[in-house]
Structure 1
Amino acid sequence: MKTTRLSVLALCATVGMTAFSSCSKEQETAVPTSSAAKQEAKAEEAYPGERGTVQTGKFGSESIVYQQINGENILEGDIILAASQLNPTGPQTESAGRNTGKWPSAVVYYTIDAALPSQNRVTDAITHWQTYTAVRFVKRTTQANYVTFRVGSGCSSNIGMIGGRQYINLASGCSTGNTIHEIGHALGLFHEQTRNDRDTYVNILTQNIQAGYENNFTKYGVSGYSGTDFGALDFGSIMMYGSFSFSSNGQPTITKKDGSTFDIQRSGLSAGDRAGIDIMY
């Protein structure tokens, strides 16, 4: 397996799991990306257009900044942090975190809420993950730890297995590609642009970012995660923002080092996404 362009991101001790993203060839995906799909794809948000109050807490031993919107703790726009993952009194042991971070035996138990429209978004996304990775999805019967796909205000998910019932929230505008992305979070993937080494590959143009969304572009090390990056950033990752994500003025928020822009893609897992999950699981 090629690992020369693989990015390895490890969550801090509170979660204790390893999250991987990125890459083989830039823009290489499991499913071809049409021009229309590129134009329509948008970065995911738990509560589109809503801005909460900025909060500071502890994620392991490190301080972390996030937004609290409608009683939920939102990181990087679409990641929901459970109260158990925020630790105001100090770090938990690593062993406790590792026990709850990954889905044992790479099996995710799930249910689909009957009220969720267009359920093919979920079944197609699950089929995609099962086609290109070793992760298996099994309908839940009595299992204690599982994901429920349900109606949401936007597209969002918890990060990793948190224990008990957790949710992937899908508004009507969340596509199959957005669902693949949110499943990535539930498995433990963070956004590709938050790599510690991202400044080697991209420019973050903070002056063009919508007010209140600056934390979506914070490097994971600054946000309280620990880990190691290997290889180059994956512009084709389904976990990567596009050049104009969260722009306040129509100007790019992220460019390549040469100043050129690139599209967001939400068609399928890149080769690097698949390689990372293969190593993780």
Structure 2
Amino acid sequence: MFKPSFSALAYLALFGTISLASCSKEQQVQPDQPEQVAQDQAELAYPGQTGEAKAGEWGGQPVSYQEINGDKVYEGDILLTSEQLTSGSDGDQQRPGSAGRTTGRWPSGIVYYTIDAALPNQARVTDAIAHWQANSPVRFIARTTQTAYVTFRVGSGCSSNIGRTGSRQYINLASGCSTGNTIHEIGHAVGLFHEQTRNDRDTFVNILTQNIQSGYEGNFTKYSASGYGGTDYGALDFGSIMMYGSFSFSSNGQPTITKKDGSTFNIQRTGLSAGDKSGIDAMY
């Protein structure tokens, strides 16, 4: 079965509705475009590289991804496994959900992990873990003999497997990946997708496809357009740590996402939003 999808404000559609106050265009602070460009480049498995476009099946539904250096890259920073792409299972570990969507939850909300000794600046990992533990029911326990666990290691960019895969999986961190980026990648590892791919997102935002960098159009595709089912609850959360900013993956300096009134907004990579927290509470 498909799991209900959460809005960024209430991750995975199981949760309560949270309304957002709207701002007029005049009230909007202009987004920091250089910051958004930096975040875009960070939250890619392989910054500056594109791969061969591939089509496969995930949970019995069609999915498009890029193959780069042997990795199956989805939505820029999500790494799919061969098992996810070949299994016809309807189980929670195989079905993608939607923005604030979830997949592959960790039993009892416990994530077992290791940190590769070669990873520099390990404080960004421990600080990100501390943030998750202070703001959600998810617990992180150092791995001993468990077969399903996350390893934080050096990567070309910031990337993660999605949900619990059932074996060793990775959160990859380049030197430019911040604590905020690490919090975002942990979101993927616990089962969260990007907020802008919600089925109901057109109620809240305009997607300006003519401004999206070639090869990254799939990062903005609604899950329903990819053949996935699900239900959105609550309002789209512009402040979610899983949400792109207005200028994310812009090819020409013009916005790729705006609010319905045409105003722009910043990317947020500081920490879990109030909506993120309530969504995770309902999920775990």
Shared fold per TM-score greater than 0.5: yes
On the 8 A contact 1:26/1:235 being kept in 2, the answer is no
Match of 2:54 in 1: 55
Going from structure 1 to structure 2, the CA distance change for 1:249 and 1:4 (only over 3 Å counts) comes to closer
Going from structure 1 to structure 2, the CA distance change for 1:37 and 1:259 (only over 3 Å counts) comes to closer
Match of 2:138 in 1: 135
On the 8 A contact 1:58/1:64 being kept in 2, the answer is yes
Match of 1:42 in 2: 39
Compute the displacement of 1:225 (Å).
2.9
1:99-124 Cα distance to aligned partner (Å, 9 max, x none): x9111110000000000000000000
Match of 1:200 in 2: 203
Going from structure 1 to structure 2, the CA distance change for 1:24 and 1:187 (only over 3 Å counts) comes to farther
Compute the displacement of 1:42 (Å).
1.1
Match of 1:154 in 2: 157
Compute the displacement of 1:39 (Å).
3.0
What is the 5 A alignment of 1:1-281?
6-7=9-10, 9=12, 25=20, 39=35, 42-43=39-40, 44-87=43-86, 91-94=88-91, 97=94, 101-281=104-284
On the 8 A contact 2:128/2:182 being kept in 1, the answer is yes
Please give the secondary structure, in 2, of the residue aligned with 1:124.
helix
Compute the displacement of 1:24 (Å).
5.6
Gaps of 5+ in 1: 11-17, 28-34
Going from structure 1 to structure 2, the CA distance change for 1:26 and 1:246 (only over 3 Å counts) comes to farther
On the 8 A contact 2:240/2:273 being kept in 1, the answer is yes
Distance 1:147 1:63 in 2: 27
On the 8 A contact 2:7/2:195 being kept in 1, the answer is no
1:51-85 Cα distance to aligned partner (Å, 9 max, x none): 00111101112111111111111110000001110
Distance 1:135 1:8 in 2: 14
Structure with greater strand percent: 1
Distance 2:267 2:183 in 1: 14
User: Which AA in structure 2 matches 1:94?
Assistant: G
On the 8 A contact 1:26/1:234 being kept in 2, the answer is no
Compute the displacement of 1:95 (Å).
7.1
Please give the secondary structure, in 1, of the residue aligned with 2:224.
coil
> How many percent of aligned residue pairs carry the same amino acid?
69
1:185-210 Cα distance to aligned partner (Å, 9 max, x none): 00000000000000111010010000
User: Which AA in structure 2 matches 1:179?
Assistant: T
TM-score normalised to structure 1 length: 0.86
Mean CA deviation greater in 167-176 or 43-52: 43-52
Compute the displacement of 1:159 (Å).
0.5
Compute the displacement of 1:94 (Å).
3.2
Going from structure 1 to structure 2, the CA distance change for 1:278 and 1:36 (only over 3 Å counts) comes to same
Compute the displacement of 1:9 (Å).
4.2
Distance 2:258 2:252 in 1: 15
1:12-43 Cα distance to aligned partner (Å, 9 max, x none): xxxxxx8x89966469xxxxxxx989936613
Please give the secondary structure, in 2, of the residue aligned with 1:86.
helix
Gaps of 5+ in 2: 1-5, 23-30, 96-102
CA RMSD after TM alignment: 2.7
Going from structure 1 to structure 2, the CA distance change for 1:202 and 1:52 (only over 3 Å counts) comes to same
Distance 2:92 2:270 in 1: 36
On the 8 A contact 1:53/1:68 being kept in 2, the answer is yes
Distance 2:121 2:33 in 1: 18
- Count of matched residue pairs: 261
